[in-house]
Amino acid sequence: MSAEIICVGTELLLGEILNGNARFLAAELARLGIPHYFQTVVGDNESRIHQVLELAVSRSQILLFTGGLGPTPDDLTTAAIASYFNTDLVERPEVIQDITTKFAQRQRQMTDNNRKQALLPMGAEILPNITGTAPGMIWSPQSPLQILTFPGVPSEMHQMWQDTAVPFLRAQGWGESIIYSQVLRFWGIGESTLANKVDRFFDLQNPTVAPYASGGEVRLRLSARAKSEADALAMINPVAEQIKAIAGEDCFGQDEDTLAAVVGQLLHEREQTVAVAESCTGGGLGAMFTEIPGSSSYFRGGVIAYANEVKAAVLNVMPETLNQFGAVSEPTAKQMALGVQQALQTDWGISITGIAGPEGGTPTKPVGLVYVGIAGPDQSVAVFEYQFGGRDRATIRHRSACHALDRLRRRLLH
Amino acid sequence: MSAEIICVGTELLLGEILNGNARFLAAELARLGIPHYFQTVVGDNESRIHQVLELAVSRSQILLFTGGLGPTPDDLTTAAIASYFNTDLVERPEVIQDITTKFAQRQRQMTDNNRKQALLPMGAEILPNITGTAPGMIWSPQSPLQILTFPGVPSEMHQMWQDTAVPFLRAQGWGESIIYSQVLRFWGIGESTLANKVDRFFDLQNPTVAPYASGGEVRLRLSARAKSEADALAMINPVAEQIKAIAGEDCFGQDEDTLAAVVGQLLHEREQTVAVAESCTGGGLGAMFTEIPGSSSYFRGGVIAYANEVKAAVLNVMPETLNQFGAVSEPTAKQMALGVQQALQTDWGISITGIAGPEGGTPTKPVGLVYVGIAGPDQSVAVFEYQFGGRDRATIRHRSACHALDRLRRRLLH
């Protein structure tokens, strides 16, 4: 028994919009424990919808359609499904009534186009749409197949899913066994190195453990199938604890934890404050800190020292340091971190100076060379050198800020 | 002749990430005029990848795979494609060499896992990956079928597509009849207001004109089908000019133009400099300015004045102003803009102070209240008040920074 998501819409085939509906339904299916192996996107075209149906019917028992329920001629999902099963469409008076009422409320005139939205295959149940004019349907044209249709408008689809589809699926026994996932998040270790350390877990069947990497971060997803979230967690936790013990400080958090949130929590616990001195990241590190609600309890501010004169005038970097070693250097990073710690009277000062490119590199200081300085409450400063060569400006800036957060995190752990 | 997009990844089936790769490739196929009727998402599972291949091979001639090229055991796209066509995998020494070099540059040890990424089907060409360790392939296992594979990491995939796949497809004759789109971008005007002003263009057939809105910005997409980009532009330009004349300053740019890039260009032309004083955006405005390569010619830096003491000590906001009017007020915004202009010796000073929430609102100063100050070379300061009530923290911060850029843009136009 498995479900399949079929999204109908030429705008998806033209790449005009992201398929947020597929993501939403996929996450919901996982939550209900309904297996789901395929997603398909197809245009507003009857014969191609038939092709997709033929395959989907052969391998899945629950088909979730989104899109193509609107009033215009290119909206033909319902008609295509009905014709595939040689079933007539019937106008539903209760839908006509509902659409008429909604148009009246909005002081607009219902058009003939909208009558089309009241046509559903004979035998199909209406899947009510509270806010919009396009209802969906729940239809079992043949046993054990169940077809559910939703409009493409995300807010309408979400509400219809929660209000009607979920209770319907639960009544059929779904949701008794669920798939629950926990994601462990790592910084400062590569995917293959981490995989080598924890590969003994990759053969587990329940929970499963799978790695993936994105934007310099590595994640391990632990997924368990169980009767409840609590049962799933009881299966996941021992594995998660073993992995955390192996990974040590490289594991910075789980699920929605971000580096900035974890660092913020550590600063909050210690009742310490931080300030940033940013050159190549231009404010990006401060923006990460302040993404976190409540960050004002530990983040006091910073100096964006993009020009050398600002490094000297506001951060007290010595002109001779800039002259002798350059703005992108270990001594400059050091003085920037101390300078902002001093100017803003904080426990910690973090600096970033580097060459984000694409221009500005030299043979000795190539694009991607970045220094991160961490000045601590004991007046010590540690400076770390990074080489992000071969990466683009946005990536170099993002990774620089993440590494700076990670360095502070590791300092705060001791 | 048509193409099909196949995205491999259990994280997509679990709804953990949005399928941005499908969107990117779909838009690119449209640009090249390559018909494209189906997209499929499938998990990291050999037999299900075989199922998808069987159908795709029967109906499409160009298959674009993303995902599943990594070093870990669940990355099996290449192996699954090879086994479907009963072809052996062969280790490519040039890929081993490339991976070794990259690990050395990053001062990390290559692992045995990574050797897997050098395995490609006999007869397949390497599709080079400049930044990452996972190359793709271009392979024609049977005529006229062409299979192209890309890693799931978006930045790597985009570069590989542009550098190698597009030239390859053009060499095969694609891109001769193309769909070319230009996007006009608007800030400071709502979608329905703009739509009302330009609705006469919505019935055009070639080019077509369609509006969409996202994140406070409104866009109009003008799409023409033609033999070349030049022909398409000749059809688009007269319509674009009419729309620009109607919209006036509300149209800030087109295509990849961002507010920060447009403002940067204006500053660069005037040989003027700017500095930022940020409270609730915490560095986000500086980060936007410095996203632009070459921004150091006009962006000197800024002060992230998150704590009131920083506003007073570094930006010279008068303590009595903070006491009497509060940090989120017109007088504070004014003094912050003047303070940073003075401290960093720039032509322009921009300030942002507001309540990003979710906590911190009061009846008189609700969450979403934001002031933007613009201090100009003539020592005048203009302050603008915004009410972003009902929106989340990230949205309030983002819109505040965009409005600040837009206010400076409009000042610079006169």
Interval B339-362: pLDDT, tens: 999 999 999 999 999 999 999 999
Last residue of a domain, one of B171, B192, B215: B171
**Residues B149 and B289 reside in one and the same domain:** no
Cβ distance of B282 and A287 shorter than 8 Å? yes
Out of A183, A278, A359, closest to residue B294 by CB: A359
pLDDT of residue B131: 86
B50: amino acid identity, one letter: H
Please compute the mean of the pLDDT values over residues B216-244 and round it to a whole number. 92
Nearest CA to B263 among B297, B219, B222? B297
**R_g over Cα of chain A:** 28
Question: Do residues A213 and A348 both lie within one domain?
Answer: no
CB-based contact B149:B79 (threshold 8 Å): no
Q: How many helices (H) and strands (E) does chain B have?
A: 16, 17
CB contact under 8 A, A15 and B23: yes
We report the CATH number of the domain holding residue B292 as 3.90.950.20
> CB distance B284–A280 less than 8 Å?
no
CB within 8 Å: A15 and B30:
yes
Picking from A14-28, A246-260, B99-113, B285-299, which range would have the lowest pLDDT averaged per residue? B99-113
Sheet holding A217-226, edge to edge: A208-214, A217-226, A178-186, A251-254
Q: Which segments within B73-196 are labelled E, that is strand?
A: 89-91, 119-121, 125-127, 136-139, 146-150, 178-186
Q: What is the DSSP letter of A163?
A: I
pLDDT over 90 at B376, yes or no? yes
Residue B309 has pLDDT above 80, yes or no: yes
Q: What is the pLDDT of residue B49?
A: 96
Do A215 and A312 fall into the same domain? no
Can you give the pLDDT at residue A259?
Answer: 98
Residue from the list A43, A195, A302 with its beta carbon closest to the beta carbon of B304? A302
Do A229 and A178 form a contact (C-beta atoms < 8 A)? yes
Check residue B229 and give its pLDDT: 86
Quote the pLDDT of residue A115. Answer: 87
For A39, the closest of B41, B278, B313 (CB atoms) is B41
Residues A287, A204 share a domain: no
Query: Domain range holding B333?
Result: 259-412
Residue B259, pLDDT score: 98
Domain boundary residue among B151, B171, B191?
A: B171
Q: Are B105 and B97 in contact (CB under 8 A)?
A: no
Of A14, A284, A344, the CB nearest to B287: A284
Write the residue in A26, A283, A356 that is nearest to B14 by C-beta: A26
When CB atoms are compared, the residue of A192, A283, A391 closest to B287 is: A283
Do residues A8 and A156 both lie within one domain? yes
**Residue type at A219?**
R
Q: Using an 8 Å CB-CB cutoff, list chain B residues near A223.
A: 14
SS3 state at B96: helix
> To probe the interface with A, which of B306, B348, B353, B359 has the most A CB atoms within 10 Å?
B306
Best mutation target, B21, B41, B209, B346, to test chain A (most A CBs within 10 A): B41
CB A180 within 8 A of CB A224: yes
The series of mean pLDDT values per 10 residues for chain A, 414 residues long, is: 94 89 95 92 94 94 94 86 96 92 76 85 94 91 96 90 95 86 95 93 94 89 92 97 97 96 98 98 98 97 96 96 97 98 97 95 95 96 93 95 98 94
B98 and B190 assigned to the same domain = no
Q: How much is the pLDDT for A212? A: 84
- Residues B241, B277, single domain; the answer is no
Same domain, B266 and B389: yes
Q: Which of B199, B220, B254 is the last residue of a domain?
A: B254
Residues of B in contact with A17 (CB under 8 A): 23
Q: Do B345 and A309 touch (CB under 8 A)?
A: yes
pLDDT, average across residues B52-78: 94
Chain B residues near residue A305 by CB distance under 8 angstroms: 301
**Are A275 and A250 contained in the same domain?**
no
Distance from CA of B1 to the nearest CA of A (A): 15
Structure tokens at A98: 């509902």
**Domain CATH number, residue B134:** 3.40.980.10
Looking at the structure of chain B, the number of domains it has is 3
Mutate to test the interface with B, among A25, A48, A212 (most CBs of B within 10 A): A212
Q: Are residues A135 and A246 in the same domain?
A: no
CB contact under 8 A, B287 and A282: yes
B414: burial class by Cβ within 10 Å (0-12, 13-18, 19+)?
A: exposed
The residues, any chain, with a CB within 8 Å of residue A62's CB and separated by 6 or more, are A1, A2, A3, A4, A34, A145, A146, A148, A169
- Do residue A94 and residue A231 come from a single domain? no
Q: What is the ipTM of this complex?
A: 0.79
Instruction: Judge whether A65 and A8 are in contact, CB under 8 Å.
Output: yes
> Which residues make beta-bridge pairs with A186?
A218, A251
Q: Closest by alpha carbon to B133, among B147, B113, B148?
A: B113
Give the DSSP per-residue string, A165-190: IHHHHHHTTTTSSEEEEEEEEE-SS-
B122: pLDDT confidence band, cut at 50, 70 and 90?
very high
Q: Do B11 and A212 touch (CB under 8 A)?
A: yes
Residue of chain B whose Cα is closest to the Cα of A394 = B291
Which residues in chain A are contacts of B114 at CB distance < 8 A?
A: 192
CA distance A350 to A381: 9
The predicted pLDDT at position A177 comes to 82
Smallest Cα distance from A61 to chain B, Å: 16
Which of A381 and B31 is assigned the larger pLDDT?
A381
H or E stretch covering A72: none
| Across B40-66, average pLDDT | 96
pLDDT at B392 over 90: no
- CB-nearest partner of B20 from A18, A282, A303: A18
Q: Do A286 and A404 share a domain, yes or no? A: yes
Closest CA to B156 of A13, A213, A233, A328: A213
Mutation target for B interface from A5, A6, A13, A161: give the one with most B CBs within 10 A: A13
CB spacing of B359 vs A293 below 8 angstroms: yes
Residues of A in contact with B27 (CB under 8 A): 14-16
